[in-house]
Structure 1
């Protein structure tokens, strides 16, 4: 049996500060971007295999929708094996529970993929949350990117997952 945990995240051009120190009288300069909204971030959807820790992800153009969830899970269903079922755990966000996703659940079941939902308000039960945190705070090569293309290259070169 394969256990996958699904989630999505936004990765911004300027990552949040963690901690730092400077000598008195030498203030820290933190670069920021004037870009706002969708031009200032990558929307990513991904899943982590509970056993192997392998991450698969894809970039979502624009705001993430139920159709994006359906398309991502369809990719996972194409990799599934009915002889060894795949269970995809998702939170109860509306993009995971909408009619577009619900309408495909029986088709995915025939492929060997079953979608189940985590209890409400339980991000601590989703290991993909930790993978996003690892990417944002540890694996990105820079804390600030000049543009979305640089950020896209940074995410792709971070060696944290496989784009699908």
Structure 2
């Protein structure tokens, strides 16, 4: 849970789970507002990232270029990932790596921050299933009910 306010003497309580679960979302966001995302409850590995890129390639218009901005995470620099770059480039997907320690330059980071701190209701944190449902609703309604204007 990112934060919560409550009246003095009435703390907001959330159940703590000893075996926490995680929903990982990998996403591609265009300045025009098109969002392609890939979710998993498993740890994010090079294979997970490759699956997400393959999903992007399958969904994008083959006649348009896509420039993907990446941080310097180890899975973005692995041998298996680098082997796929040529294939993705043949589908007009080009990669640009950010300078170290500059996630604020990546548009998708703005979306993640907006989702976490502005759009997700506090009730989403009451259970893992509820969190997943709320996240999927936000992702599915991006561009319709929720959007970010980058102009």
TM-score, with length taken from structure 2:
0.81
Q: Counterparts in 2 of 1:111-122, with a 5 A limit?
A: 111-122=91-102
Partner of 1:72: 52
Contact 1:80 1:112 in 2 (8 A): no
**Which residue among 136, 145, 159 is the counterpart of 2:116?**
136
Runs of 5+ consecutive residues of structure 2 not aligned to the other structure: 145-151
Return the alpha-carbon distance in structure 1 between the equivalents of residues 85 and 108 of structure 2: 21
Q: What is the count of residue pairs matched by the alignment? A: 142
Which structure exhibits the higher relative contact order, with contacts defined as CA atoms closer than 8 Å and separated by 6 or more residues? 1
2:95 equivalent to 1:110:
no
For residue 151 of structure 1, report the CA deviation from its aligned partner. Answer: 1.4
When the two chains are superposed, the root-mean-square deviation of aligned CA atoms in Å is 2.2
User: Aligned equivalents of 1:103 and 1:72: distance in 2?
Assistant: 15
Q: Secondary structure at the residue paired with 2:125?
A: coil
Structure 1 gaps, min length 5: 1-14
Runs of 4+, deviation exceeding 4 Å = none
Q: Partners in 1 of 2:16 and 2:39 — Cα distance? A: 20
1:43 and 1:131, CA in 2 relative to 1: closer, same or farther beyond 3 A? same
Q: Are 1:135 and 1:160, in contact at CA under 8 Å, matched by a contact in 2?
A: no
Partner in structure 2 of residue 145 of structure 1: 125
Equivalent positions of 1:4-23 (< 5 A) are 15-17=1-3, 20=5, 22-23=7-8
Q: Which residue of 2 aligns with 1:34?
A: 17
Higher strand content, 1 or 2? 1
TM-score w.r.t. the length of structure 1 is 0.75
For the 8 Å contact 1:56–1:161, the answer to whether it is kept is: no
The answer to which structure has the higher helix fraction is 2
